Chains A and B, each alone.
Chain A
Amino acid sequence: MDFIKSVSDKEIVDRIYSHYTHYDPVQSALIPLLQEIQAKLGYLSTAALNRVSELLHLPPSQVYGVATFYHQFRLSPKGEHMITVCRGTACHVHGSLELYNFLNQQLGITPPQDTSPDGLFTVQQVRCLGACALAPVIKVDETVYGKVDHVKIRGILRTARKGGKQE
């Protein structure tokens, strides 16, 4: 983490952009570029968005417009672990909204905030993960958990806390 902090967002964007110069027209690289920047930084910072606008010769309003249009992009830093609650129809009829509220309550998050005060967890909703047959489904970082309930969620949080904290 410290290593990343020592390099400015601008430099990171420049480095990533060097892989996208072959796009023709170069403006069509906007979405893949933002995706890779977010993968690196965890979110899209103002500095990063401004740099993208310079590099692609696009007005900042257009870059910001795209960044706010799609679900994948976030404009604020995220916690160490990302918890994604699937809000597809099958998950909905299996009570996923209630699970989402439960997670927030367990982690002390009050929406519209989405990150726990200790910075360990960010909770977000997603349209559909496509694992409808195992509803309700949540994803912690890259691991998908099916048929979750309160008991399972408590266990998942315990495991994530242990893995996430150096003790």
Chain B
Amino acid sequence: MPKLSTICLFLLCLSGRISAQQQQPSEDDTRAMIKANFLYQFASSNEWPADSKKGKFTIGIYGNSSLYEQLASRYGSKPVGSQTLEIVELKEVTDDRVFHIIYVDRSKKNEMPEVIQKIKGKSTLIITHFDGALALGSAINFREVNSNIRYELNKKAADDRRINLGTKILQWAVVQ
């Protein structure tokens, strides 16, 4: 008959073979992902004057590499009406090239007057993400509302540059 010692030989301790591994949070810049889509919406839902509908549709990103990467990788070469989207990361804003949209990040806030000066007379939509940007001449400014990214508008700034803001863009804007 089985003796204690014999049984003990058969025993396996309750080993810890069951174990869990640890996941890692994705390091994607979620805010850049959302803002990149907004920029694409602004490009495709607003109306530029006829003389801006030739060649490529260009968006310049000033001061936000992460946003540039998101935009270039997900939306680069995609159509905007009959034009093809081109994304450029700007080291500085100059007046020798015309952009349909220039995004000015909060890190370049102090250069905003100079940017406005450089695009004077051009149909360039200035989009920003810092407090008080609309007063400085931005047409669309991102804002955080309950942890969401939304935007506020300066319709006059867009009108002055002959850019007609789309119905949906107007509809979703938050009140200043």
Do chains A and B stick together as partners? no
